[in-house]
Amino acid sequence: MLQRRLNEQAAKEQALRRPTADPFTQPEEEAASPAVAQRPAAPAAAPQRAAALEKRAALPGKLVQMRKMLRPKLLKTPDEADHWNRDDADKIQIITERLTQMVTKLANERPEFRLSQAEFAQLREALLDDLLGFGAIQPLVEDTSVKEIMVNGPAHIWAEKKGLYETEFTYDDEDHLIWTAQRIVRRMGRRVDRAHPMTDARLPDGSRVHIVTAPSALNGTTITIRKFPAKPLTVEDLISFGSLTRETAQFLEACVKSRLNIVVSGGTGSGKTTLLNVLSAYIPEDERIVTVEDAAELQLKQPHVVRLETAPPMPDGDGKIGMLTIRDLVRGSLRMRPDRIVIGECRGGEALDMLQAMNTGHDGSLTTVHANNPRDTITRLETLVLMSGMDLPIGVVRRQIVSAVDMIVQIARLKDHSRKIIQITEVQGMEGEQVTLQDIFIYRQPGSNSMTPLSVGGGVLESTGFRPSFIDRLEENGFRLSSRIFGSGQTRFVKN
């Protein structure tokens, strides 16, 4: 009797060590016993994995219950798997072995939890997603055509590929979702809980995550992930998407190389950072560039780049210790002998430091501002400067802006979901207390004289016919401009 038990135990252990039959290929009937769970599986091959990804959308009730019950038990400590990755075969093996043992034991004790081979495989994938990945949204995380993922509580998950759509994926419940949210931020030393209901973080691959939870998130925990592009969009991509014309690209290149101070302006997700990256690529290789960002997204290829990113306060400090803001970094960057400063986005008092830098010999600096048109950009900059806490008269602020900023490039996401440069505008000067702006290029119906850019597709980015006053600077830098460039309609550029 004892010998038989020992033999059975040995057989079980042997099965656990076996270099794994693939559970996806087993016929279901063969597996309809607790013994199914005795086969730990190797990571599935790609087509099997694709099939598993598809199946994951709808877990049956029994598996939802088991997923919830087993999830915390599969780890030795809650943070054990924080740095484990979804594609790490060793870690997959560890979890599979633990799961196999637990499922076997559970099936012996509670027959209602016996699993077929297919059910086991489904449960295993779901738990691997939870423990090593991003839970229910793992297929979206792995899908390289998905650029953005938006979780609006457990039941509604949206994604952006070419356009925005609601996906079939769901978290089982709020517990499942907050579990994932906490796993995402823990590895970055952040927290999401009642004491920290809103958190921003950057994943190791550069993707940006924003999380809001109770009591502020009324639909349930809300996660927004902006994926970091493995290969950033280039000017050629933007030209091929119709976001700008080749001529305007050449004009922008001339402006960056001639050290104009440029502000890229646009709404949320309009493509500001992408355009800033494209413009920054024109900075000559022999210049020392300092980039300052909230979450580092810029991918400059030049050899002499110093990348700075804001630091959040220490999780257990007084809410300030260890913190570095964009403003701190912009001020610090001025002492680093930069030729150029590229600021990811101005959204606070750092606008004042940036304008001062632009006005004091750091020509050729670039930044983005959240605004809907060039006139708004000026107003926004005024507001941001006032946020610095300096009690400056508005006239002084305006003059600072006018003497610092040479040009505003307005980008927008149009109604047809395309992203386009819709205005390139010179900041000319002041008339009385008013800032004068002059559009150089505008996105409009071909042949139309409209001075208001189109908000739908179907237009072209045309020259308005006005010669910018900085044309001499471009020419001094070797950009000889054909006399027709600023004639209304087509543009022509020649580099000496």
Ligand X SMILES: Nc1ncnc2c1ncn2[C@@H]1O[C@H](COP(=O)(O)OP(=O)(O)OP(=O)(O)O)[C@@H](O)[C@H]1O
Judged by CB under 6 A, how many residues of this single chain contact ligand X?
Answer: 16
Residue closer to ligand X, measured from CB, 148 or 328: 148
Tell me if 273 contacts Mg ion by CB under 5 A: yes
**Residue closest to Mg ion, measured at CB:** 273
Q: Of Mg ion, ligand X, none, which one sits near residue 475, judging by CB under 5 to 8 A according to partner kind?
A: none
Give the length of the chain.
496
Stretch that binds Mg ion, among 4-12, 63-71, 150-158, 267-275 (CB under 5 A): 267-275
Strands 222-226 and 148-152: antiparallel
Of 261, 265, 263, nearest to 370 (Cα)?
265
Least distance to ligand X, CB of residue 55, Å: 28
Q: Considering the complex, state which of residue 193 and residue 237 has its C-beta at the smaller distance from ligand X.
A: 237
Give the one entry of Mg ion, ligand X, none that residue 23 binds, where binding means its C-beta sits below a cut-off of 5 to 8 angstroms depending on kind: none
Task: State in angstroms the smallest separation of the CB of 272 from ligand X.
Answer: 4
By the 10 Å C-beta count (0-12 exposed, 13-18 middle, 19+ buried), 379 is classed as middle
CA distance 351 to 166: 37
Q: Which listed option, ligand X, Mg ion, none, makes contact with residue 271 (CB within 5 to 8 Å by class)?
A: ligand X
Interacting positions 201-260 with ligand X (CB under 6 A): 229, 233, 238, 241, 243
Q: Which does 117 bind (CB under 5 to 8 A by kind): ligand X, Mg ion, none?
A: none
Question: Taking contact as CB under 5 A, which single stretch among the options 42-50, 95-103, 228-236, 273-281 is the one that binds Mg ion?
Answer: 273-281
List the single partner that 259 binds among ligand X, Mg ion, none, CB under 5 to 8 Å by kind.
Answer: none
Q: Which is nearer to Mg ion, 71 or 272 (CB)?
A: 272
Which residue, 138 or 277, has its beta carbon nearer to Mg ion?
Answer: 277
Q: Residue 139 binds which entry of ligand X, Mg ion, none, with Cβ cut-offs from 5 to 8 Å by kind?
A: none
Could you tell me if 321 and 314 are in contact, meaning their C-beta atoms sit under 8 angstroms apart?
A: yes
Considering only residues 331 to 360 of the shown chain, the ones binding ligand X according to CB under 6 A are none
444 and 453 Cβ atoms separated by less than 8 Å? yes
State how beta strands 289-293 and 305-309 pair. Answer: parallel
The answer to the question of residue 144 lying near ligand X (CB under 6 A) is no
Binders of ligand X among 262-281, rule CB under 6 A?
A: 266, 268-274
CB of 486 to Mg ion, least distance (A): 30
Minimum distance from residue 267 beta carbon to ligand X (Å) = 7
Report the residue number, 37 or 141, with the smaller CB distance to ligand X: 141
Residue 147 found at the interface with ligand X (CB under 6 A):
yes
Q: Which amino acid is at 190?
A: R
Residue at 252: amino acid letter: L
Write the DSSP assignment of 352-411 as a string of letters. HHHHHHHHTT-TT-EEEEE-SSHHHHHHHHHHHHHTTT----HHHHHHHHHHH--EEEEE
Residue nearest to ligand X according to CB distances in the complex: 271
Among 346, 419, 425, 463, the residue binding ligand X under the rule CB under 6 A is: 419
CA dist 388 to 326, 365, 452, Å?
12, 19, 32
CB of 326 to ligand X, least distance (A): 13
**Phi/psi-derived region of residue 143, left when phi > 0, alpha when psi is between -120 and 50, beta in every other case:** beta
In the bound complex, what is the minimum distance in angstroms from residue 232's beta carbon to Mg ion?
A: 12
| Using rule CB under 6 A, residue 410 touches ligand X | no
Q: How far is the CB of 272 from Mg ion (least distance, A)?
A: 5
262-266 vs 366-370, strand pairing mode: parallel
Residues 209 and 224: their CA atoms lie apart, in Å, by 6
Contact between residue 178 and residue 186 where contact means Cβ atoms under 8 Å apart: no
| Tokens coding 270 | 């309009």
Per-residue mark of binding to Mg ion, 227-266 (x: CB under 5 A): ----------------------------------------
Q: Rounded distance, CA 167 to CA 159, Å?
A: 7
The DSSP code for 42 is P
Of 30-89, binders to ligand X (CB under 6 A) are none
Partners of 196 in the β-ladder: 193
- As measured in angstroms, the least distance from the Cβ of 292 to Mg ion is 13
Rounded least distance, CB 241 to ligand X, Å: 4
Single-letter code of the amino acid located at 180: T
Contact 174, 159 (CB under 8 A): no
Q: Is there binding between residue 423 and ligand X (CB under 6 A)?
A: no
Residue 241 interface partner, choices ligand X, Mg ion, none, CB cut-off 5-8 Å depending on type: ligand X
CB of 127 closer than 8 Å to CB of 95: yes
Which residues make Cβ contacts (< 8 Å) with residue 265, sequence separation at least 6?
Answer: 272, 368, 369, 370, 371, 372, 373, 374, 376, 377, 380, 408, 409, 410, 411
Q: In Å, what is the CA distance from 192 to each residue of 56, 210, 227, 294?
A: 26, 10, 20, 19
Q: How far is the CB of 386 from ligand X (least distance, A)?
A: 22
Q: Which residues bind ligand X (CB under 6 A)?
A: 147-148, 229, 233, 238, 241, 243, 266, 268-274, 419
